[in-house]
Amino acid sequence: MSRIGLAPIEVPQGVEITVGDENTVTVKGTLGTLTQKVNGAIKIEQKDGTLELVRENEQKQTKAYHGLYRSLLNNMITGVSKGWEKKLELVGVGYRASNNGQELELSLGFSHNVVFLLPEEIKIETVTERGKNPLVTLKSYDKQLIGQVAAKIRSLRKPEPYKGKGIRFVGEQIRRKAGKSAAKK
């Protein structure tokens, strides 16, 4: 039984939800518009300020879809009303980040700077303070897109386990390894 799928979704003020043909859900809010196609085994019901998902049968796959689409629709509603944010931290001597519009330029210890072009839906902000690691903040209304872009930026220089250098999410714990032992006499 899907406990997540049974929970109703609260729809805040200013968010408009339309269910089109072939179970296509469009969520429109102050920050943007998102669309998601929902499996035919899941029916969407709108009731005074809430959204409920009802499954047609009790098959295992349908139960899985029930929780999945409830989470996706909830993330869409949160995204168009409040937005999503991911923060990345560059740890390493000489690592720098700067942005020019939708272009993110990273200095990660390679022989050249890495230029990363971001989609239009994502807003970027870079902060470099003396004595602190540079921060890259990504903001968007699309949770899937912002997660994918943040993972792609992180993959440019993953944190290594010995010194912890690389790009990591703020608050991410890196499992550290002990280095080589001192030579025996």
Q: What percent of the chain has pLDDT over 90?
A: 86
Residues 34 and 94 in one domain: no
Residues 90 and 156 in one domain: yes
Phi, psi at 151, each rounded to 5°: -65, -35
Q: What is the mean pLDDT of residues 54-74?
A: 93
Residues 116 and 90 in one domain: yes
Domain end marker among 30, 61, 81 = 81
Please report which confidence band the pLDDT of residue 76 belongs to, taking 50, 70 and 90 as the band edges.
very high
Query: Is 60 exceeded by the pLDDT of residue 105?
Result: yes
The answer to the question of residue 177 being in a domain is no
Please give the residue that has the higher pLDDT: either 181 or 83: 83
The answer to the question of residue 69 being in a domain is yes
Residues 41 and 93 in one domain: no
Query: Is 60 exceeded by the pLDDT of residue 137?
Result: yes
Mind listing the pLDDT tens digit for each residue in 29-60? 999 999 999 999 999 999 888 999 999 999 99
Residues 51 and 21 in one domain: yes
In whole angstroms, what is the distance from residue 120 CA to residue 102 CA? 7
Please report which confidence band the pLDDT of residue 183 belongs to, taking 50, 70 and 90 as the band edges.
low
Query: How many structural domains comprise the chain?
Result: 2
Count of other CB atoms within 10 angstroms of residue 130: 4
In whole angstroms, what is the distance from residue 13 CA to residue 83 CA? 15
Given this model, what pLDDT does residue 3 score? 83
Helix 60-81 vs helix 143-155: angle between axes, to the nearest 10 degrees?
Answer: 90
Residues 121 and 147 in one domain: yes
| CATH number of domain containing 54 | 3.90.930.12
Residues 71 and 137 in one domain: no
Least confident window among 79-93, 101-115, 171-185: 171-185
The answer to the question of residue 106 being in a domain is yes
Model-wide pTM > 0.85: yes
The residues facing 10 across adjacent strands are 50
In whole angstroms, what is the distance from residue 176 CA to residue 145 CA? 30
Given this model, what pLDDT does residue 2 score? 58
The answer to the question of residue 116 being in a domain is yes
Given this model, what pLDDT does residue 182 score? 59
Domain limits for position 53: 3-81
Dmax over CA atoms of the chain, in Å, equals 78
Residues 115 and 69 in one domain: no
The answer to the question of residue 64 being in a domain is yes
